Chains A and B, each alone.
Chain A
Amino acid sequence: MLLQIKNLHVSINGKEILRGINLEVNKGEVHAIMGPNGTGKSTLANVIAGKEGYEITQGEILYNGKDIQKMPPEVRAQEGIFLGFQYPVEIPGVSMTNFMRTSLNEIRKYHGQEPIPAKEFLARMAEKKELVEITAKLTNRSVNEGFSGGEKKKNEIYQMAMLEPQLAILDETDSGLDIDALRIVANGVNKLKTSENATVVITHYQRLLDYIVPDFVHVLFEGKVVLSGGKELALELEEKGYDWIKKETEKR
C-alpha cells in the first residue's frame, strides 16, 4: 500500500479541522476527494506534504509503510510525494530551469545519485513541456512570476512530470481553469499514470472528473470521509449537490 491514513485528527490553532480521516491508496490508482469548501480538503493535502502549522492530535499517516509524521517536507518530497498547489507562489529571479534542476538534483542526491547531466536535463525539459503544452518561454521565466492562473496550474503539472513522483496530490488544480487548460492539465495527469504511481485529485467540482477518471471517489464533509465509492459517486454528487450529503449525514 502506498498511502495509508488511519483515524487522522488535525487541528489548526486548537481548532479541529480533520476529525478521523481514513484513506487507503494503492499503486496504480487514481482517487478523487470531493467536498464543499471549508471541509478540510486542502488541510489534508498540506498535512500529507508536511506543511507547518498543523497539529496532528490523533492517528497516523503511513507512506510505503513508514510513519512520515516526523519527516521534514523536503524528505517527503524526496521520498516521492508531490503536492500540486492550489495557489502556487512566485519566486522572483529564480528561473524555472534553475528551480527544476535544483529540485531534481536534491532528490537524486537523496537517493545517492549523481546530479543529472545537463544534456539529459534539457532533453527531459523539452519532452515534458510538450506533455503539458507549455511554451518554451515559460520555463525561461522566474518561477510562477507573472504567470496567468492557467499557466500556474499547467506549471504544477509540468513539475510533476519532471519529478515523476510516486504519489501526486493535486489540490484544486482545476479551479480557475478554462476548458482548454482543464483538458491539458487532465491530459498530463492521465499520461503520467503508471502501475507504479498514484494520484489523489482534490476538487470541488465534478467537471475535472470528465477528463480524469478516478478509481475511487471520497466525499469529505466536516473533517470526515462521509461517503466512498466508484466514479459513479461523482456523478451522483453532481446531480444531487452537496446539500444531499449534508442531509445524508444529518440522518445518521
Chain B
Amino acid sequence: MAQDEKRLIEEVTQSEYKYGFVTDIETETAPKGLNEDTVRYISTQKNEPEWLLEHRLKAFRKWKEMEQPNWAHLKIAEIDFQDIIYYAAPKKKKELASLDEVDPELIDTFNKLGISLEEQKRLSNVAVDAVIDSVSVKTTFTDTLAKHGILFCSFSDAVKNYPDLVKKYLGMAVSPSDNFFAALNTAVFSDGSFCYIPKGVRSPMELSTYFRINAANTGQFERTLIIAEEGSYVSYMEGCTAPQRDENQLHAAIVEIIAMKDAEVKYSTVQNWYPGNKEGKGGIYNFVTKRGICKGDHSKISWTQVETGSAITWKYPSCILSGDNSVGEFYSVAVTNNYQQADTGSKMIHLGKNTKSTIISKGISAGHSNNSYRGLVKMTKRATNSRNYSQCDSLLLGDQCGAHTFPYIEGANKSSIIEHEATTSKISEDQLFYCQQRGISQESAVGLIVNGYAKEVLNKLPMEFAVEAQKLLSISLEGSVG
C-alpha cells in the first residue's frame, strides 16, 4: 500500500504539470445533495471524533437558515445546492486517463506554463502537500519539518493526531456562522492542510499545497488552518489548478491563520482554475473565506494573491489586527478576461493600538469581464494611532470590460489615519506600438506591460511562484487585443 501511495504521489507531482489531466481514480462518493445525513456520512467516512461532527452539524443548521449573499458585483447563475456531490474520496487504486481526452487548448496553455511540481520542489526547497480531490494522498517533507517541530499535514491527519490543537483553533478566525459559504464549508469540508509552527521556530522552507479539483460534479470544500506560535515565522504557498469541465463547479474554501506574539505568516496564492471558455461557458465558482488573526502584539500576517482563474471569484482575505502594533498586508493582482467575474479585496479590522495595514490591489480586466475591488478598513475606538494605506489600481484592456472599486472606511478614533488612492488606466496604443517597433509582438507586449503594472505585487511573491505568476498573467490575457 505504501508503495502504491508513493507511486501515486509521484505521478501527481512529476507529471509535467499537466493540469488538464482527469485522474481516473475510482472514487467513493457521497450521494448527491445536502442534509444532516450527508454531514454524518462525511464525518463517518473520516472517522471523526464526536465533537467535530457536532461542530459540523451546528454549522449545517446555521447554513440552512442563511441565504446566499447577493451584495457582490457578480451575476451568478442559481446554484442548486442539492445537485452537488459533497464528498469524494479516491480509492487507493489508480489509472491515469489519456491526454487525448482533454481540450487541446487547455493542454496548450499548460505546456506554455511548463513547470513541473517536482522541478519546483527541487529548485526551491518546497514541501508539497498534494491534494487530489478531497483527501490528501500524502504529505512530503514531513520528516524534515518534524525536526524543527513543525507540523504540516493534511487536515484529516491533524484531526487524528493533534485533536487538541485542531479543537482549540478551528473556527477561531472564521466562525461556523460567519457567512453562507463559510457555514457550508464548515458543515461539509472534506480535507485540507494543517500547519503548526512552534514557539521561536522559523520554517526552513516554504510550505506549499497544490489543490486539485478532480471528480466531475464534486464540490471542493477545503479547510486550511495555520497556527504560528510566539516568535515563529512561516511562508505558505497555495497553488491551484483544475481540469476543464463544462458544468460549473462550486468551490468554497476556508483558510484560517492565527499569529501569536511576534509571529509572522506570509500566505501566497496563485489561482488559475478553469475560467470557463471564451463564451463564458463553464468554469469554477470560487467562494472563499480567508482570514487571519494577529492575536499577539507585534504579529504580522501578509496575504499575497494572483488570481487569474475561475469564472466567479468571491474572495476577501482579511486581517483582524487584535494585538497592539500588529501588521496586516494584502497584495493582490486579479485578472479577468472573456466573461470572468471577480469581486475581491480585503478587510482590515484594527482592534489593537498602533496597528498598521497596507492594501495594494491591481485589477486587470479584458474582454467582457468584470473586475471589482471591495474592501473595508475599520479603525475601532481602541485602535489608537493606527494607520492604513490602500491603493487600488485598475487597468482596462478594450472597452467591453468593467472595473469597479468599492472601498468602505469606518474610523472610530481620531488619532488614526486612513489613506486611499485609486487609479484607472488603459494600455495605450502608443505603448503597444513602441513595443512592437522593438520587435515585440502585440500579445507579448500586453504581457510585458501587464507584468510591469503588477510588479509591485508580484515582487511580494516567493521567487519560484513569481515566475509562474508572470507567465499566467500573459497567458490569461492572450487574445485580449488586436
- What are the interface flags for B440-465 relative to A under an 8 Å C-beta threshold, 1 for contact and 0 otherwise? 11101000110111111000000000
How far is it, in angstroms, between the C-alpha of A98 and the C-alpha of B437 when the chains are bound? 16
Question: For A92, what are the chain B residues with a Cβ–Cβ distance below 8 Å?
Answer: 452-453
How far is it, in angstroms, between the C-alpha of A3 and the C-alpha of B456 when the chains are bound? 43
- What are the interface flags for A87-98 relative to B under an 8 Å C-beta threshold, 1 for contact and 0 otherwise? 011011110001
Question: For A73, what are the chain B residues with a Cβ–Cβ distance below 8 Å?
Answer: 433, 436-437
Q: Is A219 interfacial (CB-CB < 8 Å)?
A: no
Q: Is A142 interfacial (CB-CB < 8 Å)?
A: yes
Comparing A23-31, A99-107, A127-135, A227-235, the segment that makes contact with chain B is A99-107
Task: Choose from B429, B430, B437, B449 the contact partner of A94 (Cβ within 8 Å).
Answer: B449
In the complex, the chain B residue whose C-beta lies closest to that of A72 is: B436
Report the minimal beta-carbon distance from B43 to chain A, rounded to whole angstroms. 49
Given A73-B437, A77-B439, A78-B439, CB of A106 within 8 Å of CB of B444: yes
Q: Which of A68-96 contact B (CB under 8 A)?
A: 72-74, 77-78, 82-83, 85, 88-89, 91-94
Task: Choose from B431, B441, B454, B456 the contact partner of A74 (Cβ within 8 Å).
Answer: B441
Question: For B454, what are the chain A residues with a Cβ–Cβ distance below 8 Å?
Answer: 93
How far is it, in angstroms, between the C-alpha of A163 and the C-alpha of B434 when the chains are bound? 14
Q: Is the interface of B mostly helix, strand, loop or mixed?
A: helix
How far is it, in angstroms, between the C-alpha of A99 and the C-alpha of B439 when the chains are bound? 11
How far is it, in angstroms, between the C-alpha of A105 and the C-alpha of B438 when the chains are bound? 10
How far is it, in angstroms, between the C-alpha of A93 and the C-alpha of B470 when the chains are bound? 13
Q: Is the CB of A77 within 8 A of B452?
A: no
Given A51-B433, A52-B433, A73-B433, CB of A91 within 8 Å of CB of B438: no
Q: Is A244 interfacial (CB-CB < 8 Å)?
A: no
Q: Is B428 interfacial (CB-CB < 8 Å)?
A: yes
How far is it, in angstroms, between the C-alpha of A176 and the C-alpha of B199 when the chains are bound? 62
Q: Is the CB of B453 within 8 A of A74?
A: no
Q: Is the CB of B440 within 8 A of A93?
A: no
Given A93-B451, A94-B452, CB of A77 within 8 Å of CB of B437: yes
Question: For A107, what are the chain B residues with a Cβ–Cβ distance below 8 Å?
Answer: 439
Given A74-B441, A77-B438, A103-B438, CB of A91 within 8 Å of CB of B433: no
Report the minimal beta-carbon distance from B421 to chain A, rounded to whole angstroms. 15
Question: For A83, what are the chain B residues with a Cβ–Cβ distance below 8 Å?
Answer: 437
Q: Is A49 interfacial (CB-CB < 8 Å)?
A: yes
Q: Is the CB of A103 within 8 A of B439?
A: yes
Q: Is the CB of A91 within 8 A of B429?
A: no
Question: For B455, what are the chain A residues with a Cβ–Cβ distance below 8 Å?
Answer: 93-94
Task: Choose from A52, A104, A142 the contact partner of B452 (Cβ within 8 Å).
Answer: A142
Q: Is A159 interfacial (CB-CB < 8 Å)?
A: yes
The number of A-B residue pairs with CB atoms under 8 Å apart is 73
How far is it, in angstroms, between the C-alpha of A25 and the C-alpha of B178 when the chains are bound? 73
Question: For A159, what are the chain B residues with a Cβ–Cβ distance below 8 Å?
Answer: 438
Q: Is the CB of A85 within 8 A of B439?
A: no
Interface residues on A, range: 20 to 34
Question: For B439, what are the chain A residues with a Cβ–Cβ distance below 8 Å?
Answer: 74, 77-78, 103-104, 106-107, 110, 163
Given A52-B429, A73-B433, A93-B456, CB of A106 within 8 Å of CB of B448: no
Q: Is the CB of B448 within 8 A of A99?
A: yes
Q: Is the CB of B434 within 8 A of A85?
A: yes
How far is it, in angstroms, between the C-alpha of A104 and the C-alpha of B435 when the chains are bound? 11
Question: For A163, what are the chain B residues with a Cβ–Cβ distance below 8 Å?
Answer: 438-439
Question: For B428, what are the chain A residues with a Cβ–Cβ distance below 8 Å?
Answer: 89
Q: Is the CB of B451 within 8 A of A94?
A: yes
Most chain A beta carbons < 10 A, residue from B435, B436, B437, B455: B437
Question: For B449, what are the chain A residues with a Cβ–Cβ distance below 8 Å?
Answer: 91, 94
- What are the interface flags for B409-431 relative to A under an 8 Å C-beta threshold, 1 for contact and 0 otherwise? 00000000000000000001111
How far is it, in angstroms, between the C-alpha of A82 and the C-alpha of B434 when the chains are bound? 11
How far is it, in angstroms, between the C-alpha of A26 and the C-alpha of B361 when the chains are bound? 52
Question: For A49, what are the chain B residues with a Cβ–Cβ distance below 8 Å?
Answer: 437
How far is it, in angstroms, between the C-alpha of A70 and the C-alpha of B443 when the chains are bound? 18
Question: For A85, what are the chain B residues with a Cβ–Cβ distance below 8 Å?
Answer: 434, 437
Q: Is the CB of B438 within 8 A of A99?
A: yes
Task: Choose from B433, B440, B451 the contact partner of A106 (Cβ within 8 Å).
Answer: B440
How far is it, in angstroms, between the C-alpha of A72 and the C-alpha of B433 when the chains are bound? 10
Q: Which of B174-191 contact A (CB under 8 A)?
A: none
Question: For A104, what are the chain B residues with a Cβ–Cβ distance below 8 Å?
Answer: 439
Task: Choose from A77, A91, A93, A142 the contact partner of B436 (Cβ within 8 Å).
Answer: A77
How far is it, in angstroms, between the C-alpha of A157 and the C-alpha of B161 when the chains are bound? 66
Task: Choose from A91, A98, A102, A106 the contact partner of B434 (Cβ within 8 Å).
Answer: A91
Question: For A89, what are the chain B residues with a Cβ–Cβ distance below 8 Å?
Answer: 428, 430-431, 434
Question: For B438, what are the chain A residues with a Cβ–Cβ distance below 8 Å?
Answer: 77, 99, 103, 106, 159, 163
- What are the interface flags for A132-149 relative to B under an 8 Å C-beta threshold, 1 for contact and 0 otherwise? 000000000010000000
Q: Which of A49-64 contact B (CB under 8 A)?
A: 49-52
How far is it, in angstroms, between the C-alpha of A142 and the C-alpha of B440 when the chains are bound? 17
In the complex, the chain B residue whose C-beta lies closest to that of A109 is: B439
Report the minimal beta-carbon distance from B444 to chain A, rounded to whole angstroms. 7
Q: Is the CB of A91 within 8 A of B442?
A: no
Question: For B442, what are the chain A residues with a Cβ–Cβ distance below 8 Å?
Answer: 72, 74
In the complex, the chain B residue whose C-beta lies closest to that of A108 is: B439
How far is it, in angstroms, between the C-alpha of A94 and the C-alpha of B431 when the chains are bound? 12
Report the minimal beta-carbon distance from B209 to chain A, rounded to whole angstroms. 29
Q: Is the CB of B441 within 8 A of A93?
A: no
Q: Is the CB of A91 within 8 A of B448?
A: yes
In the complex, the chain A residue whose C-beta lies closest to that of B441 is: A74
Given A74-B440, A77-B437, A102-B444, CB of A93 within 8 Å of CB of B452: yes
Q: Is the CB of B436 within 8 A of A102?
A: no
- What are the interface flags for A166-201 relative to B under an 8 Å C-beta threshold, 1 for contact and 0 otherwise? 000000000000000000000000000000000000
- What are the interface flags for A5-42 relative to B under an 8 Å C-beta threshold, 1 for contact and 0 otherwise? 00000000000000000000000000000000000000
Chain A residues with a Cβ under 8 A of chain B: 49-52, 72-74, 77-78, 82-83, 85, 88-89, 91-94, 98-99, 102-104, 106-107, 110, 142, 159, 163
User: Lowest 4 A-B CB distances belong to which pairs?
Assistant: A93-B452, A94-B452, A93-B455, A77-B439
With A78-B439, A89-B431, A93-B452 given, name 16 new contacts (CB 8 A): A72-B441, A72-B442, A82-B437, A83-B437, A89-B434, A91-B434, A91-B448, A93-B451, A93-B453, A93-B456, A102-B440, A104-B439, A106-B441, A106-B444, A142-B452, A159-B438
Chain B residues with a Cβ under 8 A of chain A: 428-431, 433-442, 444, 448-449, 451-456
A–B complex contacts, Cβ < 8 Å, 7 sampled: A74-B441, A77-B438, A85-B434, A93-B452, A93-B453, A94-B448, A163-B439
